[in-house]
């Protein structure tokens, strides 16, 4: 299936398909540490990243009803779809709007709006990477290479219209209008 881009990307070109709300402590997918020759690699913040990604995967599956790919000779054991076509929105351009709500440090002013720009709040691209890889693992998209537009923001609780009242994330998924037909 080949999808061609429209002449102009108007706001109504994207169809909203899911809003996923995840609660938990956001962790960015960043630096990888190599354990030595033949011993593989791991993320340096694996202790926080694994539960965060698991929370995104579970919330995504609960909201969309999708499932991960279970390999059985190149075909998903659950739905009998070949791997190249597996994913709720497989082979479709996807737009993702991500709002990550992180804990506000106790040292920040309580009555003044501030921004999470310290190293302790993690880089926004690391948050996006953790989210997109989790969407792929959950079975919503085949691969995060399908994402053609990404809007990511990092906020404190209650200090933005999209912010949650506690740490977590709001993930809005859109597909290109007419791409699923």
pLDDT tens-digit map of 133-145: 999 999 999 888 9
Contact 169, 99 (CB under 8 A): yes
Q: Per-residue confidence at 100, pLDDT binned at 50, 70, 90?
A: very high
Q: Per-residue confidence at 85, pLDDT binned at 50, 70, 90?
A: confident
Identify the CA nearest to 156 among candidates 128, 117, 129: 117
Q: What is the pLDDT of residue 181?
A: 46
Domains of the chain: 14-29+55-176 (3.30.1330)
d(CA 82, CA 70) in angstroms, rounded, equals 10
Q: Per-residue confidence at 20, pLDDT binned at 50, 70, 90?
A: very high
Taking the model in full, what pTM does it have? 0.79
With b for 16 or more beta-carbon neighbours within 10 A and e for fewer, the 100-130 pattern comes to bbbebeeeeeeeeeeebeeeebbebebbbbb
The arrangement of strands across the sheet holding 94-101 comes to 14-23, 168-176, 94-101, 147-155
Residue 87 CB coordination number (10 Å): 24
Q: What is the pLDDT of residues 151-166, one digit of tens each?
A: 999 998 888 899 999 9
Choice among 18-32, 34-48, 58-72, 118-132 with the minimum mean pLDDT: 34-48
């Amino acid at each position: 299936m080949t999808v061609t881009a429209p002449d102009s990307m108007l706001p109504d070109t994207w169809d909203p398909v899911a809003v996923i709300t995840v609660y938990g402590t956001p962790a960015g997918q960043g630096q990888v540490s190599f354990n030595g020759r033949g011993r593989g690699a791991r993320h340096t913040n694996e202790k926080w990243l694994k539960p965060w990604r698991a929370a995104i995967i579970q919330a995504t599956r609960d909201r969309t009803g999708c499932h991960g790919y279970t390999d059985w000779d190149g075909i998903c054991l659950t739905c009998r779809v070949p791997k190249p076509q597996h994913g709720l929105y497989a082979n479709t351009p996807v737009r993702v709007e991500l709002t990550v709500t992180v804990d506000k440090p106790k040292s920040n002013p309580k009555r003044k709006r501030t921004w999470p720009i310290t190293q302790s709040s993690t880089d926004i691209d690391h948050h996006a990477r953790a989210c997109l890889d989790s969407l792929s693992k959950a079975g919503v998209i085949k691969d995060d290479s399908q994402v053609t537009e990404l809007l990511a923001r990092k906020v404190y609780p209650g200090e933005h219209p999209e912010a949650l009242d506690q740490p977590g994330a709001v993930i809005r998924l859109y597909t290109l209008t007419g791409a699923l037909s």
